[in-house]
């Protein structure tokens, strides 16, 4: 069963952590409000209503909508970075890291973020300073994933195509899951991750890797 995001009223672990915890809950709730209403259509008043607080109370935690959207992007990138770190810690070979990353990323983004489609909002919606910071983080993430792919190509495990093209294929496929995934559907996020991993990798694995994977499944 999907674990629901922490709600505003429940986000008080200890007094000294209250403000940060409340702020994190706000970011998640605001992201869901933006996803439902559309970032440009949703006002801070709409966010306050979703959180059952006054608009004035919001300004204690954030200064404007731009800051909320910026933190929504950061949250999504935090999850992507953690999925990559988890895969790297478990596997030595690049070809083994890729399926672990795909499974973990799909599982976490779809179970923890819930209705968080705001991550599809174009970066141009951010003000320039925040946009540059997010672009820098995205480039760093992309470079790490390309490095894994390049190593898998060098090992002969992945077809010899430009790593940037393969990464675009991988991320396009797994990010699209968020557009149709239903938490109450017949498959869990973990099961979808496992199946997507097999489907996606079957499209980029070199012949010898396909045969090895086929033998393992048999």
Q: Kindly report, residue by residue over 172-202, the tens digit of the pLDDT.
A: 888 888 777 777 788 888 888 899 889 888 8
Q: Please, what's the b/e burial string for 21-48 (b: 16 or more CB within 10 A of its CB; e: otherwise)?
A: bbebbbbbbbbbbbbeeebeebebebbb
pLDDT of 92 reads 82
The predicted model gives 85-112 an average pLDDT of 86
pLDDT of 114 reads 54
- Provide the 8-state DSSP code for 117: G
The verdict on residue 174 lying in a domain is yes
In the predicted model, is pLDDT for residue 8 greater than 70? no
In the predicted model, is pLDDT for residue 209 greater than 50? no
Total number of domains in the chain:
1
The verdict on residue 124 lying in a domain is yes
Query: Which residues contact residue 13 at a Cβ distance below 8 angstroms, ignoring those fewer than 6 apart?
Result: 21
pLDDT of 144 reads 95
In the predicted model, is pLDDT for residue 216 greater than 50? no
The verdict on residue 76 lying in a domain is yes
Please give the angle made by the CA atoms of 197, 213 and 107, to the nearest 5 degrees.
Answer: 20
Using alpha carbons, list the distances in angstroms from residue 84 to 81, 138, 204. 5, 13, 19
Give the torsion sign (CA, 53, 56, 57, 59).
positive
Q: Kindly report, residue by residue over 137-164, the tens digit of the pLDDT.
A: 999 999 999 999 999 999 999 999 999 9
Which one is predicted more confidently, 50 or 128? 128
pLDDT of 154 reads 96
For residue 188, how many C-alpha atoms fall within 13 Å in the half-sphere facing its CB? 12
In the predicted model, is pLDDT for residue 52 greater than 60? yes
Tell me the pTM.
0.76
Which one is predicted more confidently, 83 or 92? 83
Q: What is the DSSP string of 45-113?
A: HHHHHHHTS-HHHHTTT-SSHHHHHHHHHHHHHHHHHHHHHHHHHH-SSHHHHHHHHHHHHHHHHHHHS
> Looking at residue 161, which CATH number applies to its domain?
1.10.357.10
Instruction: Give the three-state DSSP class for 189.
Output: helix
Contact (CB, 8 A) for 100 and 90: yes
Contact (CB, 8 A) for 138 and 210: no
Distance CA 71, CA 31 (A): 9
Domain range for 147? 69-217
In the predicted model, is pLDDT for residue 116 greater than 70? no
The verdict on residue 171 lying in a domain is yes
The verdict on residue 34 lying in a domain is no
The verdict on residue 38 lying in a domain is no
Give the torsion sign (CA, 36, 42, 44, 46).
negative
The predicted model gives 167-171 an average pLDDT of 92
Distance CA 77, CA 72 (A): 9
């Amino acid at each position: 069963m999907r674990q629901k995001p922490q709600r505003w009223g429940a986000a008080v672990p200890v007094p000294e952590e209250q403000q940060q915890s409340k702020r994190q809950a706000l970011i998640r709730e605001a992201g869901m409000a933006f996803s439902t209403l559309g970032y440009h259509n949703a006002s801070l008043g709409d966010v306050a209503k979703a959180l059952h607080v006054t608009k004035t109370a919001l300004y204690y935690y954030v200064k404007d909508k731009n800051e909320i959207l910026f933190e929504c992007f950061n949250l999504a990138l935090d999850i992507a970075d953690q999925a990559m770190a988890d895969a790297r810690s478990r596997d030595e070979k690049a070809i083994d890291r890729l399926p672990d990353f795909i499974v973990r990323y799909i599982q976490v983004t779809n179970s923890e973020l819930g209705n968080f489609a705001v991550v599809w909002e174009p970066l141009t919606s951010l003000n320039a300073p925040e946009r540059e910071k997010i672009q820098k983080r995205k480039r760093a993430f992309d470079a790490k994933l390309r490095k894994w792919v390049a190593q898998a190509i060098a090992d002969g495990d992945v077809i010899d195509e430009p790593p940037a093209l393969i990464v675009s294929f991988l991320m396009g496929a797994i990010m699209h899951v968020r557009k149709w995934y239903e938490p109450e559907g017949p498959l869990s996020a973990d099961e979808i991750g496992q199946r997507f991993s097999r489907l996606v990798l079957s499209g980029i694995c070199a012949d010898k890797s396909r045969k090895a994977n086929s033998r393992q499944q048999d």
